[in-house]
Amino acid sequence: MLARLVLKRGAKHEGESPFWISFSDLMSALMVLFLVVMAVTLVSVTQSIDAATRATIERSAAINRIMSLIAKDPKSAGVGVDQQNYRIDLGKKVRFDSGSYIISATAGQFLRSYIPVLLRAKDTPEGQRWIRSVVVEGFTDEDGTYLYNLQLSLDRSRSVVCSLFQGSGASEALTPEQLRKVQELFLVGGYSFNSIKKDKAESRRVEFKIDFWGLEERVPSASDVLKGKEFGRC
């Protein structure tokens, strides 16, 4: 008799195991995880951009209000307030003779009566946050050499600041508190015969340039360096 051969099939353990995850299911899970991470990242980046854009818009709006406040002040009649470039051209109010940096008595009176407009703008909450300084910029006509006119323009800027500390006892004289603010806020600069105008008389002028803090900059803490320091004489 022939022996009966019995073949046994292998167990179906692998196919029946409930813990087996197919390769395609694994890839699907990873894809979902990737999409979730990307969505969260995009939302975070979008919120960051929106915050930066909002801060930029708020700064621009605050500066526009500061410049508008200066332009609308009655004392600004007769001067050119460039609200886009943050410049104030004193026009015919402050002009110099050729080769001279002497401030006339009339010009000095005007300056002492006008400076409080800028100080009031600085004292507003927006001014306290954004105004860094006021730069007094002197200009010359094209007569003379570059270096000569550079010194002349600086002398004209300095004369403007010096005139603010004069007029003691006069009605337009600045108070000691206002002079302290001038000391902290005002700087001088010269432009030789850069930005000359067609008329030489118009070129011999002075402008105020308002400098604002940048968006990422923070106003430094108040310093006592100038406290009690004498103003000196020109």
Query: pTM of the entire structure?
Result: 0.74
Asked if residue 54 is part of any domain, the answer here is yes
Q: What is the CATH number of the domain that holds 70?
A: 3.30.1330.60
Asked if residue 13 is part of any domain, the answer here is no
DSSP 205: B
Question: How many distinct structural domains can be found in the chain?
Answer: 1
Contact partners, residue 210, CB within 8 Å, separation at least 6: 66, 67, 86, 87, 88, 118, 131, 133, 134, 135
Asked if residue 126 is part of any domain, the answer here is yes
φ, ψ dihedrals at 204, nearest 5°: -85, 75
Asked if residue 152 is part of any domain, the answer here is yes
Asked if residue 222 is part of any domain, the answer here is no
Could you tell me the residue range of the domain that residue 130 belongs to? 47-212
Q: Give per-residue pLDDT as tens, 48-101.
A: 667 778 889 999 999 999 999 999 999 999 899 999 999 999 988 899 999 999
Q: How many CB atoms lie within 10 A of CB 20?
A: 9
Q: What is the pLDDT of residue 78?
A: 85
Long-range contacts of 145-152 (CB under 8 A, 24+ apart): 146/192, 146/193, 147/192, 149/192, 149/193, 150/190, 150/192, 151/190, 152/99, 152/101, 152/190, 152/192
Q: Give per-residue pLDDT as tens, 137-193.
A: 999 988 999 999 999 999 999 999 999 999 877 778 999 999 999 999 999 998 877
Using the Cα atoms of residue 117, residue 119, residue 121 and residue 123 in order, give the sign of their dihedral.
negative
Asked if residue 26 is part of any domain, the answer here is no
Environment class of residue 3 by beta-carbon count within 10 Å: exposed (0-12), middle (13-18) or buried (19+)? exposed
Q: What is the pLDDT of residue 216?
A: 86
Asked if residue 220 is part of any domain, the answer here is no
Average pLDDT, the chain: 84
